[in-house]
Each structure stands twice: as C-alpha cells, then as structure tokens.
A and B are shown apart, each in its own frame.
Chain A
Amino acid sequence: MLGYIGRRILATIPVMAVVGLFVFSLLYFAPGDPAAIIAGDQASPEDIIRIRATLGLDRPFLVRFGEWSWQIIHGDLGTSIFTNLPVTTMIGQRIQPTLSLMLVTLVFAIVVAVPLGVVAAWKAGTLIDRLVMGIAVTGFSVPVFVVGYVLAYVFALQLGWLPVQGYTPIEQGLWPWLSNLILPAVTLGLVYIALIARVTRATMLDVLSQDYVRTARAKGLSQGPVLFVHALKNAAVPIVTVIGIGIALLIGGAVVTETVFAIPGLGRLTVDAILRRDYPVIQGVVLLFSFVYVLVNLAIDLFYTVLDPRIRY
C-alpha cells in the first residue's frame, strides 16, 4: 500500500515536467525580445546583446529550462511584466474568490447531480429518465457564459433576488459571500452536473442489475436504502473519478464565469494577462491550475482504497 502511494506520487513528476516544459516554452517562444524591451528605444545592438547576456537569455534552451524549474520548485513564479509584482503575490491576492467559487460549485453540483443520476437510473426508460438525460445534453450544449448571462438577467436584474455581479470576501459574513456566489456557482455547475449525472446514471444502471441488489430487495429493504446505500456505494468509484476529471471543466469554466460575473479571481487575472500579453502571469496561472488538477486526481486515486476495500495495490 505504502509502496503504491509512493509510486503513484512519483508518477506525477513526469506529468508535471511535461506541463512545466510546455509552460516554459510558452515564454521562450513568446514574441518580443525582453532584452530589447528593457534596453529601450535608444539602445544600440551591442547594448541589447549585453543585457541579454546579463539576463542569461543567450544560454541554451535546456539550461534555461533547468534554471527556471529550479526557481519554480522554490516557489518563485517570476515577475509580472505589467505590474512588476511577483506573480505569486498576484495569485495570492486573487485566489480566494476562485477557490470559493470552485468549492461552492463542487458542493452544489455533487448534491444535485448524484441524486439526479440515481433517480434516472432507478426510473430508467421512463419520462423522468428522459428528462434528466435531456437536461444533461442541454447542460453540455449551452456554453457557460450563455447560462451566466441568462441567469444574471433573470434572477439578478429582473427579479432582484441576488446581487448582479462582484464578490464579497468571506470575512464580511457568510451570506454576503454566498449570495454573490450562488448565480456563478449554478452557471459553472451546469456542465459539471451534466457530466456527473450521466456517469452516475450509467454506473447505477450497471450496479442495479447485480445480484446483491436483488438480494437486498428480496430481503425486504425499501427503495431508499437499496438505491443510496447498497447501490450507490458500489457505484462510487466511477462517480468520484469523473468528479476529479471534471475539475478541468470547472477550471476552464471559472475563467469565463469570473468574466461574466466580474469576480476578481484567477480567471479574471488570466484574461487580463492575455490582453496585456503578460506572459509570466499566464505561465503562473496555467502552472498552478494544472498542479491543482494533478493533485486532485492523485488524491482521488489514493482515495479509491477507502471507497472500495476490494481495491488492493
């Protein structure tokens, strides 16, 4: 078991190395010569060569990649071209809204999607099932900003139930924080719900045809315990897996959702950085998001043994 954990953690190193190589290449191949920018308009070609040498920009690709990786491992993501602040500081300022949004979405999506999928599997082939699957296809098809604007228009502008845009830090109270996140979380959660509900239904259909479910029913258990205790427990592994994979959807969607709802988070930071061509910031955000994604899926892999004691490594 310990050996498995060790091997699984080691396996993430090449993955992160590929991510790192890609992100580094991004800056390496980015248009514009940083030395020329620093030297300014008056500089002679010799000046530029000198500055390039002092910055170490004239050294080979792999040497620079190694040095850059060394910095990253020590928590140095470089300095923003635009604000001159360390990228880690900028990420630190923006991380709370994004983290809040993703957590609220995660909880909301799981609470809605799993029961939907279970009911769809239980009522397979009926109108309820078709309805749930219809919602799922729609969830996949309606882009996240479309949902966002429609929800904001109806529930915030027309009905006035919730704040239209913006973000309130959690320090200012639970409700102000949550009320600002409800619409964004529903927006971001829709495609995630579609994904989880589909997989839950598929797995439950499989599990419900197993002998032990028939046994549970035969011994007189009512529908609730059969579905949610016996069956769902055995369907847990694929569901948890897809929740982990779906984090990628959440990250991508967060960029858009934050733009729609004017939430000052990492997504907004990314969009601003793109528009300003602030490559170190883009690098930092892509690295961070990928790292989180890899970590979450690593944690889920290790969690399997808890979910399903039959799994032994």
Chain B
Amino acid sequence: MTATVAPFPDHAPPAGLPPEGPTPKAPPPPGLAVAAPLPDVIPVRKRRGRVWTYIRRNPTIVVGGVLLLIVFLMAVLAPWLGTVDPTALAPAKRTRVPSALHWFGTDMLGRDVYSRVVYGARVSLLVGFAVAFLASIAGLAVGLVSGMVRWLDGIVMRVVDGMMSIPPILLAIALMALTRGSIQNVIIAITIAEIPRVARLVRGVVLSLREQPYVEAAVTTGTRMPAIIWRHILPNTLAPMTVQATYICASAMITEAILSFIGAGVPPATPSWGNIMAEGRALWQVKFYIILFPAIFLSMTVLAVNLVGDGLRDALDPRMAKDV
C-alpha cells in the first residue's frame, strides 16, 4: 500500500497563497510612514532603575525615612558625635554664642547645647516609638473587644467618648500632675491620652469587617471567635493601624516636648528637646539660639515621621490616598 500522493509536494504552499517566510518588502503606499522593525530581544531593564522608580513613586516615604534614619543614628551614636557630657555644668562659660568649641552655644548653666540636642534625640525617639507601640496594642485590645462583644460596646464607647472630650494634651498634663516627672511616666500619660483614638479606629474597622461575607462564612462554618479574630479581623486592621501608629508617634513627640516645655515632663536635668527649650525660655529674647536648635531638630523629626505616615497611608490604603 502506498500512500496516496498528496496533490501538493510537502511544504509547498497551496497555490494562490503568498509564500511563507520573509517577503520582499512592498513599497509603502504613498503618504504612509513605516515603523522601524522591532529588535529581536527586549533590552534588559537595569536594576538601578527599580530603586529609582520606588523613590519616584514614594518620594515622601523615602525622604521621611532617610531623615528619620539620620535622627536615629544620631541618637544611637550620640557619644561619638563630638559631644561632651550633656549634663556637665560649667557656670564660668554660660550662655556662650555658637562657636567652633560649642557649635550650638551653651545654656544658662554652661551646658553644651549641641550635646544636649544630640542626646535629646534619644528621649524624643524613645517616647515617640514607645507611645506609638503601647497605644496601638492597648487601643487594638479595647477596639477589638468593643467591636466584637456587643453588650460591652455601649459602655466602652461611652468611656472612650468621655476620654476623647478631654483635649489630649490637657489629659496628659492632668495625668502628669499625679506623678513625678520621669520618662516612664511621660510615656504612660501620653499613651493613655492616645488610646481612645486607636480604640475608635479599630472598632470602626472591626464593625465593617464583621459584616463582610467571608467573616459571615467563617461564622457559619463554625469557626471559633478567637480564630476569626486572628485570621480575618486582625490582618485587616494592620494597615490602618500602622498608619495611625506613625501619626501617634509624631503627636507623642510633640506632646512630650510640650510637657517638658511647661515643666510637667521629663526631669529638667534630662536632655530632651522640650527641656532645652524650657531652659532657653527665660533668655529667648537675647539668646534665641538656645531655643532655635532644639526647635529645628524637633520639627524635622516630627516632619520625617509624618512624611513616612503619609507615604504609608498612600501605599497601604489606596482609598484614603485619594482623599486627604
């Protein structure tokens, strides 16, 4: 049996169709330009470009992060940054103007303002981050309980309403009046003043989440409450919580400075930016630099934290990004 001979030889195109393979270019019709042929291989994107793209897309987070890193390094490396003992008194050379020896001058007691400002970064960062962390944890707990346990919700929210109707700085001041000034007490006082806001936020998120189909599905299939909270609720509160935590950090730094500035904060000997400004207060008309330098550092640090917060908000919560 021989195979029937195909009417056409192998690979030969049927008559009438144009032959395969590169065809001789027909001249373009008049008035039409022809695009240059595409290269065979798409050129490899340079790795450097990726970092650059990230910076271009999130300029605020990068600028804020870099500033914050500088302040952080300053706080950690304070002893090696040409500082002297920030609490060393030298009455003989008090209120010196900035010079090569004392970069930011000296205060009323002859202490080196530059050293005090550099060490002051430690207090601000510690208070800012500690309050952000503690207030987030505590607020998360209160908010979760309030959002998940119906009968407690009313009571908890009335308490939160009451706490929120005391302006936070006033609340922190009142709490500080009860205790002696120390960094620990400042952190506790500011944390208590910040908890209601976090609790409110978390409760709101929880209330909207528990109506979600996937949560209802989990309830229907008999998932236990702790598992629902752990698997479905908690992960969804993380993004808004992180953003909120950065704003709490910024506001805690400002509140600490205010408390110290009015004499209700960390002990006066501790170099904190608020304390340095409090000491410079009496002399501000003649020795403005004592106030100016801590002021600049405080503002820059808070700005850095706020920039990171704005960047995180844009990155983590696209719905909010459009708004504010």
Contacts and interface: CB of A to CB of B under 8 A. Distances in A.
Interface of A: 14-19, 21-23, 26, 29-31, 137-138, 140-146, 149-150, 152-153, 157, 164, 198-199, 201-202, 205-206, 248-249, 251-253, 255-256, 259, 270-271, 273-275, 277, 279, 282, 285-286, 289-290, 293-294, 297
Interface string B210-235: 00000000000000000000000000
Interface string B286-324: 001001100100110011001100100000000000111
Contact of B299 (A26, A141, A259, A290): A141
Interface of B: 158-159, 161-163, 165-171, 173-174, 176-178, 250, 254, 257-258, 261-264, 277, 281, 284-285, 288, 291-292, 295, 298-299, 302-303, 306-307, 310, 322-324
B40 to A, nearest CB: 40
A297 B165 CA distance: 10
Given A15-B165, A153-B288, A199-B324, A289 B262 contact: no
A26 B177 contact: yes
Contacts of A164: 285
B324 A198 contact: yes
Contacts of B163: 18, 22
Given A26-B177, A279-B177, A145 B299 contact: no
Contacts of B292: 149-150
Contacts of A18: 158-159, 161-163
Contacts of A255: 169-170, 173, 258, 262
Contact of B166 (A14, A206, A286): A286
B310 A137 contact: yes
A14 B277 CA distance: 40
Contacts of B165: 15-16, 19, 290, 293-294, 297
Contacts of A138: 303
Contacts of A253: 169
A293 B295 contact: no
A114 B158 CA distance: 32
Contact of A17 (B162, B166, B285, B324): B162
Contacts of A21: 162
Given A19-B166, A277-B177, A271 B298 contact: no
A274 B303 contact: no
Given A157-B285, A290-B165, A275 B263 contact: yes
Given A251-B167, A293-B165, A29 B277 contact: no
B135 to A, nearest CB: 17
Query: 8 nearest interchain CB pairs?
Result: A18-B162, A252-B169, A141-B303, A146-B295, A248-B167, A251-B167, A141-B302, A202-B323
A270 B173 contact: yes
A56 to B, nearest CB: 22
Given A143-B299, A145-B277, A256 B261 contact: yes
Contacts of A14: 158, 161-162
Contacts of B291: 149
Contacts of A144: 258
Contacts of A251: 167, 169-170
A199 B306 CA distance: 17
Contact of A145 (B158, B174, B261): B261
A259 B261 CA distance: 9
Contact of B177 (A19, A22, A282, A289): A282
11 contacts: A15-B161, A15-B162, A18-B159, A18-B161, A149-B292, A199-B324, A205-B322, A253-B169, A270-B173, A273-B177, A282-B174
Contact of B258 (A145, A152, A199): A145
B324 A143 contact: no
A26 B298 contact: no
A285 B171 CA distance: 11
Contact of A146 (B167, B178, B299): B299
B216 to A, nearest CB: 30
Most A CB contacts (10 A, CB to CB) among B258, B263, B277, B303 go to: B258
Given A282-B174, A293-B167, A137 B303 contact: yes
B176 A274 contact: yes
Most A CB contacts (10 A, CB to CB) among B165, B178, B277, B322 go to: B165
Given A30-B178, A141-B306, A275-B263, A19 B324 contact: no
A251 B170 CA distance: 8
Nearest to A29: B178
A19 B162 contact: yes
A271 B173 CA distance: 9
Contact of A142 (B161, B258, B299, B324): B299
Contacts of B177: 26, 30, 273-274, 277, 279, 282
B193 to A, nearest CB: 10
Contacts of A31: 178
B258 A256 contact: yes
Contacts of B170: 251-252, 255, 270, 285-286, 289-290
B121 to A, nearest CB: 15
B162 A22 contact: yes
Contacts of A157: 285
Nearest to A283: B174
A106 B263 CA distance: 27
A176 B169 CA distance: 30
B253 to A, nearest CB: 9
